[in-house]
DNA sequence: ATTTACAATATGA
DNA sequence: TCATATTGTAAAT
Protein backbone atom coordinates (compact mmCIF):
# COMPACT_ATOMS: atom_id res chain seq x y z
CA UNK A 1 0.00 0.00 0.00
CA UNK A 2 1.07 3.48 -0.69
CA UNK A 3 2.54 5.47 2.10
CA UNK A 4 1.21 8.69 0.80
CA UNK A 5 -2.42 9.66 0.56
CA UNK A 6 -3.93 9.59 -2.87
CA UNK A 7 -4.77 13.08 -3.96
CA UNK A 8 -8.22 13.49 -5.40
CA UNK A 9 -8.32 17.24 -5.74
CA UNK A 10 -6.03 20.25 -5.80
CA UNK A 11 -7.51 23.63 -5.01
CA UNK A 12 -6.23 27.14 -4.55
CA UNK A 13 -6.86 29.25 -1.50
CA UNK A 14 -6.69 32.96 -2.20
CA UNK A 15 -5.42 35.10 0.62
CA UNK A 16 -3.79 38.48 1.02
CA UNK A 17 -0.47 36.68 1.20
CA UNK A 18 -0.96 34.86 -2.06
CA UNK A 19 -2.56 31.68 -3.29
CA UNK A 20 -2.07 28.66 -1.09
CA UNK A 21 -2.47 25.23 -2.60
CA UNK A 22 -4.53 22.61 -0.82
CA UNK A 23 -4.48 18.98 -1.86
CA UNK A 24 -7.16 16.63 -0.69
CA UNK A 25 -7.30 12.87 -0.43
CA UNK A 26 -10.42 10.84 0.10
CA UNK A 27 -9.96 11.24 3.86
CA UNK A 28 -9.51 14.99 4.11
CA UNK A 29 -6.87 17.65 3.69
CA UNK A 30 -3.71 15.79 2.75
CA UNK A 31 -1.34 18.66 2.11
CA UNK A 32 -1.18 22.41 2.28
CA UNK A 33 1.48 24.42 0.51
CA UNK A 34 2.57 28.02 0.78
CA UNK A 35 2.02 30.38 -2.15
CA UNK A 36 5.42 29.73 -3.61
CA UNK A 37 6.18 28.81 -7.20
CA UNK A 38 3.60 31.17 -8.66
CA UNK A 39 0.82 28.71 -7.87
CA UNK A 40 0.76 27.45 -11.38
CA UNK A 41 -1.74 25.00 -12.73
CA UNK A 42 -3.53 24.27 -9.50
CA UNK A 43 -7.30 24.35 -9.34
CA UNK A 44 -10.16 22.32 -10.58
CA UNK A 45 -12.76 21.21 -8.10
CA UNK A 46 -14.71 18.07 -8.87
CA UNK A 47 -18.27 19.18 -8.52
CA UNK A 48 -20.17 16.83 -6.29
CA UNK A 49 -17.53 15.83 -3.80
CA UNK A 50 -17.08 16.27 -0.05
CA UNK A 51 -13.94 18.16 -0.98
CA UNK A 52 -16.01 21.23 -1.68
CA UNK A 53 -17.11 21.39 1.94
CA UNK A 54 -13.62 20.77 3.27
CA UNK A 55 -12.22 23.44 1.07
CA UNK A 56 -14.53 25.99 2.55
CA UNK A 57 -13.37 25.08 6.04
CA UNK A 58 -9.73 25.07 4.98
CA UNK A 59 -10.04 28.46 3.39
CA UNK A 60 -11.49 29.93 6.54
CA UNK A 61 -8.96 28.18 8.75
CA UNK A 62 -6.02 29.42 6.69
CA UNK A 63 -7.27 32.99 6.78
CA UNK A 64 -7.73 32.80 10.52
CA UNK A 65 -4.26 31.40 10.91
CA UNK A 66 -2.83 34.26 8.86
CA UNK A 67 -4.53 36.65 11.24
CA UNK A 68 -3.01 34.90 14.22
CA UNK A 69 -6.37 33.79 15.47
CA UNK A 70 -7.30 30.30 16.65
CA UNK A 71 -9.17 28.25 14.09
CA UNK A 72 -12.69 27.51 15.03
CA UNK A 73 -13.49 24.95 12.39
CA UNK A 74 -10.42 23.17 11.08
CA UNK A 75 -10.97 20.75 8.21
CA UNK A 76 -10.23 17.05 8.64
CA UNK A 77 -6.59 16.31 8.00
CA UNK A 78 -5.41 13.11 6.39
CA UNK A 79 -2.32 11.98 8.22
CA UNK A 80 -1.52 8.90 6.27
CA UNK A 81 2.09 8.81 5.43
CA UNK A 82 4.25 9.63 8.31
CA UNK A 83 5.49 7.39 11.03
CA UNK A 84 4.09 6.80 14.49
CA UNK A 85 6.61 9.22 15.91
CA UNK A 86 5.62 11.94 13.50
CA UNK A 87 1.95 11.50 14.27
CA UNK A 88 2.62 11.95 17.94
CA UNK A 89 4.52 15.11 17.23
CA UNK A 90 1.71 16.46 15.07
CA UNK A 91 -0.86 15.60 17.69
CA UNK A 92 1.19 17.47 20.27
CA UNK A 93 1.47 20.46 17.98
CA UNK A 94 -2.30 20.67 17.79
CA UNK A 95 -2.46 21.19 21.55
CA UNK A 96 -0.40 24.38 21.48
CA UNK A 97 -2.80 27.30 21.96
CA UNK A 98 -2.60 30.29 19.64
CA UNK A 99 -0.26 32.98 20.86
CA UNK A 100 1.96 30.50 22.64
CA UNK A 101 5.14 28.82 21.57
CA UNK A 102 6.79 25.55 22.44
CA UNK A 103 10.38 24.49 22.15
CA UNK A 104 11.64 21.45 20.31
CA UNK A 105 13.17 20.23 23.54
CA UNK A 106 9.96 20.50 25.53
CA UNK A 107 7.98 18.75 22.84
CA UNK A 108 10.52 15.96 22.79
CA UNK A 109 10.23 15.67 26.54
CA UNK A 110 6.44 15.43 26.27
CA UNK A 111 6.92 12.46 24.01
CA UNK A 112 9.13 10.84 26.65
CA UNK A 113 12.09 11.11 24.33
CA UNK A 114 13.96 14.03 25.85
CA UNK A 115 16.85 13.68 23.47
CA UNK A 116 14.82 13.64 20.30
CA UNK A 117 14.55 17.38 19.90
CA UNK A 118 16.15 17.16 16.55
CA UNK A 119 13.88 14.37 15.51
CA UNK A 120 10.95 16.57 16.48
CA UNK A 121 12.28 19.18 14.11
CA UNK A 122 12.31 16.55 11.43
CA UNK A 123 8.71 15.69 12.10
CA UNK A 124 7.72 19.34 11.91
CA UNK A 125 9.37 19.60 8.54
CA UNK A 126 7.45 16.57 7.39
CA UNK A 127 4.19 18.11 8.54
CA UNK A 128 1.79 17.85 5.59
CA UNK A 129 -0.35 20.81 6.57
CA UNK A 130 1.48 23.81 7.99
CA UNK A 131 -0.85 26.41 9.54
CA UNK A 132 -3.56 23.84 10.16
CA UNK A 133 -1.02 21.98 12.24
CA UNK A 134 0.75 24.89 13.95
CA UNK A 135 4.32 23.86 13.32
CA UNK A 136 5.26 27.53 13.28
CA UNK A 137 4.70 27.77 17.04
CA UNK A 138 7.69 25.60 17.68
CA UNK A 139 10.89 27.52 18.32
CA UNK A 140 14.41 26.73 19.41
CA UNK A 141 15.29 26.67 23.08
CA UNK A 142 17.63 29.62 23.53
CA UNK A 143 15.16 32.05 22.01
CA UNK A 144 16.10 31.20 18.45
CA UNK A 145 13.42 30.77 15.85
CA UNK A 146 14.66 27.53 14.44
CA UNK A 147 13.79 27.08 10.80
CA UNK A 148 10.76 26.74 8.65
CA UNK A 149 9.98 25.03 5.37
CA UNK A 150 8.91 27.33 2.66
CA UNK A 151 10.56 30.35 4.23
CA UNK A 152 11.41 31.60 7.67
CA UNK A 153 9.58 34.84 6.94
CA UNK A 154 6.29 33.01 7.29
CA UNK A 155 7.18 31.82 10.74
CA UNK A 156 8.09 35.33 11.79
CA UNK A 157 4.95 36.83 10.40
CA UNK A 158 2.70 34.24 11.99
CA UNK A 159 4.33 34.43 15.40
CA UNK A 160 4.26 38.20 15.32
CA UNK A 161 0.57 38.12 14.52
CA UNK A 162 -0.27 35.69 17.27
CA UNK A 163 1.79 37.53 19.86
CA UNK A 164 -0.15 40.64 18.99
CA UNK A 165 -3.46 38.93 19.54
CA UNK A 166 -2.45 37.44 22.83
C1' DA B 1 22.97 -1.97 4.17
C1' DT B 2 25.63 2.30 5.62
C1' DT B 3 26.36 7.08 5.83
C1' DT B 4 24.86 11.84 5.87
C1' DA B 5 22.11 15.75 6.74
C1' DC B 6 18.29 18.01 9.17
C1' DA B 7 13.59 23.18 11.59
C1' DA B 8 18.05 20.89 18.29
C1' DT B 9 20.01 20.59 22.80
C1' DA B 10 22.88 19.36 26.60
C1' DT B 11 27.41 18.74 27.98
C1' DG B 12 32.49 19.18 28.21
C1' DA B 13 36.51 21.53 26.90
C1' DT C 1 32.60 29.66 21.47
C1' DC C 2 33.40 25.03 19.41
C1' DA C 3 33.16 19.93 19.13
C1' DT C 4 30.47 16.00 20.04
C1' DA C 5 26.89 12.51 21.26
C1' DT C 6 22.10 11.70 20.86
C1' DT C 7 17.42 10.74 18.36
C1' DG C 8 14.01 9.66 14.21
C1' DT C 9 13.56 10.10 9.13
C1' DA C 10 14.62 10.68 4.56
C1' DA C 11 17.76 10.77 0.92
C1' DA C 12 22.02 9.65 -1.04
C1' DT C 13 25.64 6.11 -1.85
> How wide is the angle at C-alpha A154 spanned by C-alphas A3 and A24, nearest 5°?
30
pLDDT digits (tens, 9 = 90+) for A109-131: 999 999 999 999 999 999 999 99
Q: Residue A3 has what pLDDT?
A: 73
**Which protein residues have their Cβ less than 7 angstroms from some atom of strand B?**
A 103-105, 115, 117-118, 121-122, 124-125, 127, 130, 135-136, 138, 140-142, 144, 146-149
pLDDT digits (tens, 9 = 90+) for A37-67: 665 655 666 666 789 999 999 999 999 999 9
Q: pTM value?
A: 0.91
pLDDT digits (tens, 9 = 90+) for A11-30: 999 999 999 999 999 999 99
Amino acid sequence: MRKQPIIVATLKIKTDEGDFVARYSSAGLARLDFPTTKTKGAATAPAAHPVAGWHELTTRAVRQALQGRPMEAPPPVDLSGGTAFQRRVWAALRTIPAGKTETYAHLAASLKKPKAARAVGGACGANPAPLIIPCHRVVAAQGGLGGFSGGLHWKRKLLGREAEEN
